[in-house]
Amino acid sequence: MNTPGERLKAERKRLGYSQEAFGALGGVKKLAQIKYEQGGRKPDAAYFEGIAAAGADIAYILTGQTPALRQALGDVQASTQLAVSIGGTESEVSANQVAIFEQLRTTREANEAEHQLLKDYRCCSPEDQAVLRQMASRFAAAKSNQIAPAQPARVKGVAAARQVKK
Chain mean pLDDT for the chain: 78
Q: Is the same domain home to 56 and 102?
A: no
What domain range includes position 105?
67-123
CA 11 to chain centre: 9
Q: Would you say 115 and 91 are in contact if contact means Cβ atoms under 8 Å apart?
A: no
pLDDT tens track for 118-159:
778 788 888 888 888 888 888 888 877 655 555 544 444 454
Prediction pTM value:
0.48
Q: Is the same domain home to 38 and 59?
A: yes
The residue out of 45, 63, 81 marking a domain boundary is: 63
Instruction: Report how far apart, in Å, the C-alpha atoms of 15 and of each of 9, 37, 53, 146 are.
Output: 10, 15, 12, 33
Distance CA 87, CA 149 (A): 51
Q: Is the same domain home to 40 and 79?
A: no
When divided into structural domains, the chain yields a total of 3
pLDDT tens track for 34-68:
999 999 999 999 999 999 999 998 988 988 877 76
54 CB contacts (<8 Å, ≥6 apart)?
A: 15, 17, 22, 25
The CATH number assigned to the domain holding 9 equals 1.10.260.40
The residue out of 22, 42, 63 marking a domain boundary is: 63
Handedness of CA 87, 90, 92, 98 (dihedral sign): positive
Q: Is the same domain home to 57 and 85?
A: no
Q: Is the same domain home to 73 and 89?
A: yes
Q: Would you say 57 and 11 are in contact if contact means Cβ atoms under 8 Å apart?
A: yes
Distance CA 148, CA 86 (A): 50
